[in-house]
Structure 1
Amino acid sequence: MKKLILGIAILASSFTFAQKDKDASAKFDAANKAAMDAFNAKNYAVAAPKFLEAYEILKANGKADETYKYNAAISYAVNNNIPEATKLYEELIAANYTGEQTTYTAKDKQGQVQSFDKTMWTTLKGKSKDYTDFKEEKTPSVEPELYETLATLYLNSKQNDKAVALIEKGLSKFPNNAKLKDFQGTAYYASGNNDKFATVIKEQLAKDPNNAENWYNLGVLQSKNPASAAEAEVSFKKAIELKPDFSNAYLNLVYTTIGDEDAAVKKINETNRTDKAAGTKLIEERRARFAKALPYAESWYKVQPENIDAVSTLKDIYTITKNTEKAAAMKAKLAELEAKQTK
């Protein structure tokens, strides 16, 4: 699950109401001030509906500005109100909102930067000698952040199919967006689309082959198919090479090497009923798999000597490979750990 992290910077916007709209102007000013005060006080539960109130006042007076809806969306998201935040982010993306604004500034005789609306700025630029350094600048688009945040909201609320569709749409517009690429793998995995998840991981490994987590994730996917078990072993070993204390990689390497133990035991029992020689061969093959897994299990235990699963697994492997002395030592260690848990 992706933790929602926002650089909670809201956007500013300003409107001038006509003289006849004094009542609407007063209501807007009051709602916007209440929203800003609440936001600055980190009272996001109050800020969000007040930003929406300001938005609705503007909309009712023919001056709709999605900036206030954007600010409300941020406030809801920071306050972990996922349903309301999701609704607003969906609306902003559907409206192709970018948050881009053009600012018009100039320096006065004291060297102070002053802001103007476009009409006044244009007039001063053409006629006034009191101002210099006229600049017209456009603020960056927030559209990529809309996709990133909504993808996170979808993933956190387990709307995985929606997350996949949104991320694919976002990457078609912003193909180099690192966050969306990262979220894409998570979304594919959460939605059960392991083939696409594996493709994403391989693309990431092609760019950064020293990422232990990606080697581990690739190994997990490969281990789900017996046909790619050997590839999974390679991936887990690569993860461990890059991160020697990677306990989960050792765990998965052990069980991938052993294989489907339940199926193996069932097959041995069935075969023994009709063909003892064939059954004995299967037993020897099983023991060989456990022997191969032994050094990985020992390394896992070395990394996590207090882990009951690591101790129990190593005990079973020693037992099956007929190392009775070490099996007894692990049995004693297991009893010690289990006793601690019951205290």
Structure 2
Amino acid sequence: MNGKFIMLTSTLLLSFATFAQKKELKAAEKALKGGDAKETLNLLKAADAVMSAATDEEKAQYLFLEGNAYLDLVDKKIDADANMTLAANAYKKLIEAEKVSGKLKYSAQAATSVDKIKNLLINSAVAATKENNNIDGAKKLYEAYMLDKKDTINLYYAASTYVNAKDYDKAMELYSELKRLNYSGKMTQYLAVSKINDQENNFATAAERDKAVKLGTHEKPRTEEIPSKRGEIYKNMALILVEKGQIAEAKQAVADAVKANPDDISLKLTEANLYLQTKDFEKYKQIINDVLAKNPNDYALIYNLGVIAANNNNNEEAEKYYKKTIELKPDYLNAYINLAVLKLQNEKVLIEEMNKLGTSDKDMKRYDVLKKKREDLFISVLPYLKKAYELDPENEDVAKTLSVVYSALEMTAEKNAIKAKMKK
């Protein structure tokens, strides 16, 4: 008799728990529909005690409501950063739970919300870095990666942002993960401008892009090759090791990368740059000559050699490489810009000396000499700036610099023409 009584009582308790679960979930759902996310979370918290006996579907509903409540608070800008994380955690638990149970009622909607949170994190990270809050930006980019590990580029940007924040240990941790994944980032983008909002859209394939242009929704199609980022990744890993005084380890890390990816030119350039920075000039020249022997007419490679030389203040060599780039590819915009920048660096020295001069006859003669040197400098820069402006008239920096040069050379009509176009 007693055993039957106990069994009956347990059944009643179970029925009560099931009733309580449904009641609390229904109340939470009603509160959320009414726009009261905080009340929703309070009701869900009250249901915690009875959720252990809930069905798989009820547990999924609980997590779905929890995620939606936190996301609603994010939309209302209430403690957005913390609630984004809480919402994402709820959705991830939900997706995992439904995957185990095999009942995929909420997973599709949850995945859409996770994607929304990922984009919010990326936008928030961009805003943080614009305000020089690189640590916050890096953390958010890493969180975006953790939400969607297939989108590896967020891990790459997180690592780069940690470098900017000078948190080299964390950057090295993320770069090591990219190395383990053998991340490249090399891709082809198929772009066209939307006629609706003038925004450039990226299409999955050239065929999709061309179809949109043919339909008349897009215009100005172009294809852009995104180069491998392995060189930059290993370069930064090497630089971090150099910063820590681990020179041998830095050289070994890059050598291993080159061995694993022998056709990746960016890695060979990274290796060359490392030997240049550590003043091993013979090894540097050996690697550069090796690369050039295999790719004598690769304008992008030769341009990168110019960048390496310029970064190491070897301006004469940089100029040689930039001019060779232009010889091979006359419409290579960045080569013209970098040549102009390279030459204009010399103006600072002239200006500083001119400003220190007095009014004596000797100083005035020296002033005239320096003034002539400055004019000659501007004359030598002018062809590169004019060509850069011709190639990209929308580039504000080029237009402004060209305007300054015209002004210094008293080319008033040309300067006014540039300014008139800039106002438009």
In the superposition, the TM-score normalised over structure 2's length comes to 0.40
| Higher helix residue share | 2
Larger relative contact order (CA 8 Å, sep ≥ 6): 1
In the superposition, the TM-score normalised over structure 1's length comes to 0.48
